[in-house]
Homo-oligomer: A and B are copies of this chain.
Amino acid sequence: MRLLPGFQHKRGESMSIRNFFDAASVAVIGASRTPGKISNAIVKNLISSGYGGKIYPVNPRESEVENLKAYPSVAALPEKVDVAVIAVPAVRVLDVAAECGEKGIKNLVTITAGFKEIGREGLEVEKNLLALCRQYGMRMLGPNCAGMMDTHVPINTSFAKGFPRKGDIAFFSQSGAMMVAILDWSHEAGIGLSKVVSLGNKADLSEIDFIQDAADDPYTRVILCYIEDVIDGSRFLDVVSQATRKKPVVIYKSGTSQAGALAASSHTGALAGSDLAYDIAFRQCGVIRARTITELFDLATSFAKSPVPKGPRVAIVTNSGGPGIITSDNVELRGLTMSRFTKETLDALREGLPAEAGIYNPVDVLGDAMEDRYRFALERVCGDPNVDSVVVIITPTATNKPVETSRVVIEMKKKNPDKVFYGAYIGGAALAEAKEVLNRAGIPCFTFPEPVIASISQMVKYHEYRTSQELQRGLKFDGIDRKAVKAVFYDVLRDNRLVLLGSEAAEVARAYGIPAEPVSLATTPEEAVEEAEKLGYPVVLKVSSPKILHKTDVGGVKVGLGSPEEVYNAFLEIMENSQRFMPQAVVYGVEVQKMMPKGTELIIGMTRDVQFGPMIAVGLGGIYVNLLKDVSFRLARGLSRQEIERMITETKAYTLLRGYRGERSRDLNALVDAVGRVACLALDFPEITEIDVNPVFAYEKGLSALDVKITISVS
């Protein structure tokens, strides 16, 4: 839902939302005296949060609420408050918002439900509410939200039970219930939070605005979101890719996107699937995507406590073999590597540890190890240049000293600020205090090794993303003829079509420097022969009809035609076959194309996501493309040459392109160029909904695109 697009540009850029948190005064409109009522809970929460500003209950039927003087109306308030929390019945919300506007109030938190979420009627009211906000220059959280909190200000305009521990994790939730549930759970999980916001219907402010604000908030180290959709994909990418340069953003996205439903006719669309756009959008702006709620908070804890490791090399120090093996398995599984120690490290470990100890990574200091032996091993391991992260594992034994060992780990961290430390203390009561000591000192300590390694892996990926960002350069191409494309589209629309003929699509591709073989459209056998003579033999003939998508299947393709006679006869046969198998299809004629020598068969494609725009695909092509599913995707937006190279290396096609089983390598540069040009075409012409370039033959030198399909939309 995009409301009043004219305001899009202004949102979040010119107007700060800082005052929502740093408010000097808050009015609660509709504040009730009745305990249990939402509007009463808000006043109580404001008071009990320790909020230092002024609180004004507004209620015509009360003279005081929770020992605070109540005002009969917004107009009667003694000052222009910073934030108005609206908790009146839905039918009253528009009036109250207008009153706030008249009063000069700039920030609304609309708790009241009964808007978009109840259907069309509610959506209308919500649009009017937003229009009012625009008219008076007000920003609004909600409607249908549970409010917001900041533990550092402190302030709490929500009706949720309980106030979180002070911490450095900001949490923005599109579900109010999830926010309340997680708040409740955060206490026993020992998680502290800086800001908590229930986003509600996101009529005005959304996660984008709060991410932008939290990116500059000194009390927030990690930004967490639970969202069900992104409303403005373009702004999301802009803002969030800036935020992730400053601090990690971890998002749990639920629900299935609608991207898949739009694109049914193209190969690329069918391959994209429903959730892919979010996946690649998150990746391209550096968002860490959590796959479970538990992972969301495991990652938050890690990122909040620990610096990001410099690389993927993990060392393990353990007092028992089994957990060491489990952890090594996970290191491999998660794409990290086990540190290989230098000879010096190994010699020192061999000399200083008992003979039965394991000195290769994982280092097994044995079940009878006390803190001294851990210290000895950790000193050597930390001194090794091949170690980026150190995982300390403890299992309970009769003799070990877990708390003292935690202190050793803390000491190591102080001496080695460039290394990242984690604890996996496998046990319950016997290790509880030791865990607590480690966690309090800012070293993440989990019970089992799996979340430790998963966290390190995500942190390393985040580090790699931030490093790689510095190398990115945008795409720039010569020899692009926009006018030629417009001219083709003009003809197509005049012909009342949305699918381009093969000849038209090839022309569009060629106008963007995509190496498509020219296609001529012949309407008589004589014309076909004439075109073939011009192109040179052998040629291929294909039926030209927007309704016939799989031409081979209806006998609409003839290849390897080497003479005028063959061309003549092929034309007639194709027309006959088409009439027989697809009598209802309008046939525009037969396309004539030079037959090209076979190369490595690839596909380059584009399908458009409603939120995030064009998605570009590259991979193994040919008629088995949907079977092999060897395709890598990226958003066209912000694509760089480096990123195109990376997407190619992710495919199996890359193995073929490099030269498989003795074959010569193919022209990778030409492929990168062609993919980039398809991306430019899709960005320049938003009316293109789908592109399939399949097959593209890749040769030792150059490419040749044999078949281009382009679909456009009217809008």
User: In the complex where A448-B292, A652-B628, A661-B553 touch, is A428 in contact with B321 (Cβ < 8 A)?
Assistant: no
Chain B proximity mask over A289-310: 1 for CB below 8 Å, otherwise 0 = 0001110000000000000000
**Is A550 interfacial (CB 8 A cutoff)?**
yes
CA A64 – CA B413 in complex, angstroms?
Answer: 49
State the Cβ distance, A556 to closest chain B Cβ, in Å.
12
Chain B residue numbers with a CB within 8 Å of A448 are 292-294
**Which of B395, B447, B449, B623 has a CB less than 8 Å from the CB of A180?**
B395
Closest B residue to A35 by beta carbon equals B398
Chain B proximity mask over A221-233: 1 for CB below 8 Å, otherwise 0 = 0000010100000
CA A450 – CA B627 in complex, angstroms?
Answer: 30
**Which of B159, B181, B320, B550 has a CB less than 8 Å from the CB of A398?**
B159
Is A396 touching B627 in the complex (CB atoms < 8 A)? no
CA A502 – CA B181 in complex, angstroms?
Answer: 67
**Is A427 interfacial (CB 8 A cutoff)?**
yes
**Which of B189, B256, B431, B623 has a CB less than 8 Å from the CB of A184?**
B431
CA A77 – CA B238 in complex, angstroms?
Answer: 81
**Is A36 interfacial (CB 8 A cutoff)?**
yes
Chain B residue numbers with a CB within 8 Å of A655 are 627
A residues sitting closer than 8 Å to B (CB atoms) are 36, 38, 41, 117-118, 159, 161, 173-178, 180-182, 184-189, 226, 228, 254-256, 292-294, 319-323, 325-326, 329, 332, 356, 367, 395-399, 426-431, 447-450, 550, 552-553, 623-624, 627-628, 652, 655-656, 660-662
Is A627 touching B325 in the complex (CB atoms < 8 A)? no
User: In the complex where A178-B322, A426-B182, A627-B652 touch, is A118 in contact with B228 (Cβ < 8 A)?
Assistant: no
Q: List 30 A-B contacts (CB under 8 A).
A: A36-B398, A36-B399, A161-B396, A174-B322, A175-B320, A175-B321, A175-B323, A176-B320, A177-B320, A177-B395, A178-B322, A178-B323, A178-B395, A180-B395, A180-B427, A181-B323, A184-B428, A184-B431, A185-B426, A189-B428, A226-B322, A254-B325, A255-B325, A293-B426, A293-B448, A294-B450, A550-B661, A552-B661, A627-B656, A628-B652
Chain B residue numbers with a CB within 8 Å of A329 are 254-256
State the Cβ distance, A259 to closest chain B Cβ, in Å.
15
**Which of B226, B332, B428, B662 has a CB less than 8 Å from the CB of A188?**
B428
Is A228 touching B325 in the complex (CB atoms < 8 A)? yes
User: In the complex where A161-B396, A399-B36, A553-B661 touch, is A184 in contact with B429 (Cβ < 8 A)?
Assistant: yes
**Which of B118, B294, B398, B426 has a CB less than 8 Å from the CB of A38?**
B398
Chain B residue numbers with a CB within 8 Å of A624 are 656, 660
Q: Which residue of A118, A159, A319, A430 has the most chain B CB atoms within 10 A of its CB atom?
A: A430
Chain B residue numbers with a CB within 8 Å of A398 are 36, 38, 41, 159, 161
State the Cβ distance, A579 to closest chain B Cβ, in Å.
18
User: In the complex where A228-B322, A293-B448 touch, is A181 in contact with B396 (Cβ < 8 A)?
Assistant: yes
CA A426 – CA B325 in complex, angstroms?
Answer: 33
Chain B residue numbers with a CB within 8 Å of A294 are 448, 450
**Which of B118, B426, B661 has a CB less than 8 Å from the CB of A181?**
B426
Is B178 touching A430 in the complex (CB atoms < 8 A)? no
User: In the complex where A187-B428, A399-B36 touch, is A177 in contact with B652 (Cβ < 8 A)?
Assistant: no
User: Assembly of this chain: how many copies?
Assistant: 2
CA A176 – CA B323 in complex, angstroms?
Answer: 10
Chain B residue numbers with a CB within 8 Å of A189 are 428
Chain B residue numbers with a CB within 8 Å of A159 are 398
CA A138 – CA B345 in complex, angstroms?
Answer: 45
State the Cβ distance, A41 to closest chain B Cβ, in Å.
7
Q: Which residue of A228, A321, A332, A367 has the most chain B CB atoms within 10 A of its CB atom?
A: A321
Is B447 touching A185 in the complex (CB atoms < 8 A)? yes
Closest B residue to A274 by beta carbon equals B332
Closest B residue to A629 by beta carbon equals B652
Chain B residue numbers with a CB within 8 Å of A38 are 398
CA A322 – CA B229 in complex, angstroms?
Answer: 11
Is B184 touching A396 in the complex (CB atoms < 8 A)? yes
Chain B residue numbers with a CB within 8 Å of A256 are 329, 332
Q: Other CB < 8 Å A-B pairs besides A159-B398, A178-B426, 7 of them? A: A175-B321, A177-B319, A177-B395, A177-B426, A178-B395, A180-B395, A185-B447
CA A41 – CA B427 in complex, angstroms?
Answer: 19
Is A293 touching B399 in the complex (CB atoms < 8 A)? no
Chain B residue numbers with a CB within 8 Å of A550 are 661-662
CA A293 – CA B326 in complex, angstroms?
Answer: 9
State the Cβ distance, A656 to closest chain B Cβ, in Å.
7
Chain B residue numbers with a CB within 8 Å of A332 are 256
Is B553 touching A293 in the complex (CB atoms < 8 A)? no
Closest B residue to A320 by beta carbon equals B177
CA A292 – CA B452 in complex, angstroms?
Answer: 12
Chain B residue numbers with a CB within 8 Å of A397 are 177, 180
**Which of B184, B319, B426, B662 has a CB less than 8 Å from the CB of A553?**
B662
State the Cβ distance, A405 to closest chain B Cβ, in Å.
15
State the Cβ distance, A594 to closest chain B Cβ, in Å.
25
User: In the complex where A293-B448, A396-B184, A450-B294 touch, is A323 in contact with B177 (Cβ < 8 A)?
Assistant: yes
State the Cβ distance, A194 to closest chain B Cβ, in Å.
19
CB-CB nearest 6 A-B residue pairs: A175-B322, A177-B320, A181-B426, A184-B427, A181-B395, A177-B395
Closest B residue to A293 by beta carbon equals B448
Chain B residue numbers with a CB within 8 Å of A399 are 36
CA A395 – CA B427 in complex, angstroms?
Answer: 29
Is A427 touching B181 in the complex (CB atoms < 8 A)? yes
Is B175 touching A627 in the complex (CB atoms < 8 A)? no
Is A254 touching B447 in the complex (CB atoms < 8 A)? no
State the Cβ distance, A237 to closest chain B Cβ, in Å.
23
Chain B residue numbers with a CB within 8 Å of A228 are 322, 325
CA A530 – CA B662 in complex, angstroms?
Answer: 33
CA A715 – CA B159 in complex, angstroms?
Answer: 76
Is A428 touching B185 in the complex (CB atoms < 8 A)? yes
State the Cβ distance, A116 to closest chain B Cβ, in Å.
12
CA A623 – CA B661 in complex, angstroms?
Answer: 9
CA A161 – CA B397 in complex, angstroms?
Answer: 8
CA A173 – CA B623 in complex, angstroms?
Answer: 51
Chain B residue numbers with a CB within 8 Å of A181 are 320, 323, 395-396, 426-427
Chain B residue numbers with a CB within 8 Å of A552 are 661
CA A430 – CA B300 in complex, angstroms?
Answer: 23
CA A367 – CA B178 in complex, angstroms?
Answer: 11
Chain B residue numbers with a CB within 8 Å of A627 are 652, 655-656, 660
CA A325 – CA B252 in complex, angstroms?
Answer: 12
Closest B residue to A333 by beta carbon equals B291
Chain B residue numbers with a CB within 8 Å of A428 are 184-189
